[in-house]
């Protein structure tokens, strides 16, 4: 459940603009919510729909407990229509079906709302059909188009929508939201350092594969510190079997980079910046093993490894070379 107060913490400008539209009774017939995945577009669209339909709202704030609010939460409100990609795209037939639905009077009021998710995935025919729909707006109709790629939306569609830009979430705010969602403080610090996409962070937190990434990074560091001659053995028998895809290996290297950043933070007494807060003993040992200069050099080596992975150099060779560099 989201309130406008909560949404203002996440997306202050977009939330304030929509709240003002209620205060001034100037709800536009079409909005384009543009921003990266996980920035709150879907949550905002649901809250906005509740504010439109809720009969017990105070200002813009819906009551969250009436029949309309509950049915919007469950996806069963008869006058709120969702359009999402079927397969890889949103097709002309889906827009035609929507138009047909809107020829009927609202079942419980004259107000109708439709939300198009991943609007950039509309086919050309679907976009042209939607354009005709937008060119003859009903004052009782409100459209919300949600997209991660605003520039790919037809200019003629964009010009008929009020644009709301959803900004990337602040890492500290992502961390706070993750803790509110029940994520441990240590995991929240790590996840918010890897992504400012709240949805992605929550998915990673539930992913057993990712949980093992953290363990493998710590194990690699322990091997490099205590049994450096076994470094290549560890890479080939434990590290690489876990990172079967290049994207997975990139994620592992991202976490490894955060570790060496923490080594530098430890050496500089930047307590508030440390991410691996539950690995203090390992960090203390690492701060004795790597100087600030060698830790910085290790970060450079990891960045170079990431670049080689992107250039399709064989992952095993990249990791073997990186391991030898980290042992220096």
Where on the phi/psi map is residue 123: left (φ > 0), alpha (ψ -120 to 50), or beta?
beta
Distance (Å, whole) CA 12 – CA 168:
12
Residue ending a domain, among 165, 197, 216, is 165
Q: Are 89 and 34 in the same domain?
A: yes
What's the pLDDT tens digit per position in 56-92? 998 899 999 999 999 999 999 999 999 999 988 999 9
Is 191 part of a structural domain of the chain?
A: no
Same-domain pairing of 115 and 55: yes
In percent, how much of the chain has pLDDT > 70? 97
pLDDT per residue as tens digits for the range 283-327: 999 999 999 999 999 999 999 999 999 888 999 999 999 999 998
105 vs 6, more confident: 6
- Predicted TM-score (pTM) above 0.75: no
Q: Provide CB contacts within 8 A for 182, sequence distance 6+.
A: none
Helices (H), the chain: 4-10, 12-23, 41-53, 67-74, 92-101, 124-135, 155-158, 171-180, 185-194, 198-206, 208-226, 231-234, 240-242, 246-267, 280-289, 292-310, 315-326
Whether residue 295 sits in one domain with residue 148: no
pLDDT for 16: 94
Q: Distance between alpha carbon 187 and the CA centroid of its chain, in Å?
A: 16
Judge whether 270 lies within some domain: yes
Tell me, yes or no, whether 48 and 143 share the same domain. Answer: yes
Are residues 215 and 157 part of one domain?
A: no
The DSSP bridge partners found for residue 163 are 32
Provide φ and ψ at 203, rounded to 5°.
-65, -40
Q: If DSSP codes are grouped into helix, strand and coil, which group holds residue 43?
A: helix
Give the list of residues 6+ apart from residue 65 with CB closer than 8 angstroms, or none: 56
* Single residue among 135, 150, 165 that ends a domain in this structure: 165
Average pLDDT over residues 90-105: 84
Same domain? For 299 and 158 the reply is: no
Q: What is the chain's mean pLDDT, rounded? A: 91
- Mean pLDDT score, 217-225: 95
- What pLDDT, on the 0 to 100 scale, is given for residue 100? 83
For residue 314, the tally of other CB atoms under 10 A from its CB is 10
Same domain, 129 and 220: no
Per-residue pLDDT band for 108 (boundaries 50, 70, 90) equals: low
Q: Count the domains in the chain.
A: 2
Query: Which one, of 197, 204, 194, lies nearest residue 177 by Cα?
Result: 197
The Cα–Cα gap between 165 and 175 comes to 22
Instruction: Give the pLDDT band of residue 106 (cuts 50, 70, 90).
Output: low
Per-residue pLDDT at 112 exceeds 60: yes
**172 in any annotated domain:** no
For residue 86, being part of any structural domain is answered with: yes
User: What is residue 111's predicted lDDT score, i.e. its pLDDT?
Assistant: 85
Same domain, yes or no: 266 and 137: no
Of residues 209 and 149, the one with the higher pLDDT is 209
The CATH number given to whatever domain includes residue 58 is: 3.40.50.300
CA 33 from centroid of its chain's CA atoms: 14
Based on the fold, state whether residues 257 and 160 are members of the same structural domain.
Answer: no
* Residue 224 included in any domain: yes
151 and 216 both lie in a single domain: no
Query: Are 295 and 264 contacting, i.e. CB atoms less than 8 angstroms apart?
Result: yes
**Beta strand ranges found along the chain (DSSP E):** 30-34, 80-83, 112-116, 141-147, 162-165
Distance, CA of 165 to CA of 13 (rounded, Å): 8
Residues 37 and 152 in one domain: yes
Which of 112, 143, 165 terminates a domain? The answer is: 165
- Closest to 77 (Cα-Cα) out of 44, 99, 51: 51
Cα gap 230→220, rounded to integer Å: 10
Handedness of CA 272, 278, 284, 289 (dihedral sign): negative
**pLDDT digits over 49-62, tens only?**
999 999 999 889 99
Q: Output the CA torsion sign for 270, 276, 281, 286.
A: negative
Specify whether 19 is located in the same domain as 157.
yes
Q: Cα–Cα distance between 177 and 183 in angstroms, integer?
A: 9
**Structure-derived torsion over alpha carbons of residues 55, 60, 63, 69, reported in degrees to the nearest 10:** 70
Q: What is the pLDDT of residue 105?
A: 60
Residue 179 lies inside a defined structural domain of this protein? no
> Per-residue pLDDT tens for 175-201?
988 999 999 999 999 999 999 888 889
Query: Could you tell me the residue range of the domain that residue 161 belongs to?
Result: 4-165
154 is a domain residue: yes
CATH number at residue 302: 1.20.272
Q: How far apart are CA 36 and CA 99, in angstroms?
A: 28
CA–CA dist 252, 103 (Å, integer): 53
Q: What are phi and psi of 291, to 5 degrees?
A: -80, 175
Cα distance between residue 140 and residue 143, in whole Å:
10
Give pLDDT tens digits for 262-275. 999 999 999 889 99
- Three-class DSSP category at 80: strand
Domain-located, residue 237: yes
């Amino acid at each position: 459940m989201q309130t406008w107060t909560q949404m203002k913490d996440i997306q202050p400008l977009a939330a304030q603009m929509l709240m003002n539209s209620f205060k001034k009774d100037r709800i536009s017939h079409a909005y384009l919510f543009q921003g990266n995945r996980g920035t709150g577009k879907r949550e905002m669209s649901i809250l906005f729909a509740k504010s439109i339909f809720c009969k017990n709202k105070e200002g813009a704030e819906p009551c969250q407990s009436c029949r309309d609010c509950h049915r919007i939460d469950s996806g069963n409100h008869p006058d709120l229509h969702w359009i999402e990609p079927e397969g890889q795209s949103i097709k002309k037939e889906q827009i035609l079906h929507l138009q047909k639905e809107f020829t009927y009077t609202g079942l419980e009021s004259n107000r109708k709302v439709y939300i198009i998710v991943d609007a950039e995935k509309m086919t050309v025919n679907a976009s042209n059909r939607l354009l005709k729909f937008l060119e003859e707006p009903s004052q009782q109709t409100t459209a919300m188009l949600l997209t991660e790629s605003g520039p790919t939306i037809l200019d003629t569609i964009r010009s008929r929508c009020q644009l709301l830009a959803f900004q990337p979430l602040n890492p500290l705010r992502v961390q706070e939201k993750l803790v509110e969602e029940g994520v441990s403080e240590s995991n929240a610090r790590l996840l918010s350092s890897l992504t400012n996409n709240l949805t992605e962070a929550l998915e990673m937190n539930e992913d057993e594969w990712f949980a093992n990434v953290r363990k493998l990074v710590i194990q690699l560091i322990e091997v490099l510190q205590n049994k450096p001659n076994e470094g290549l053995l560890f890479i080939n028998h434990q590290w690489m079997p876990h990172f079967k895809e290049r994207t997975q290996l990139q994620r592992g290297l991202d976490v490894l980079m955060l570790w060496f950043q923490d080594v530098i933070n430890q050496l500089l007494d930047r307590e508030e910046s440390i991410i691996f807060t539950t690995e203090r003993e390992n960090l203390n040992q690492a701060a004795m093993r790597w100087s600030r200069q060698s830790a910085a050099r290790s970060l450079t080596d990891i960045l170079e490894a990431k670049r080689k992975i992107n250039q399709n150099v064989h992952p095993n060779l990249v990791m073997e070379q990186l391991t030898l560099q980290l042992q220096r």
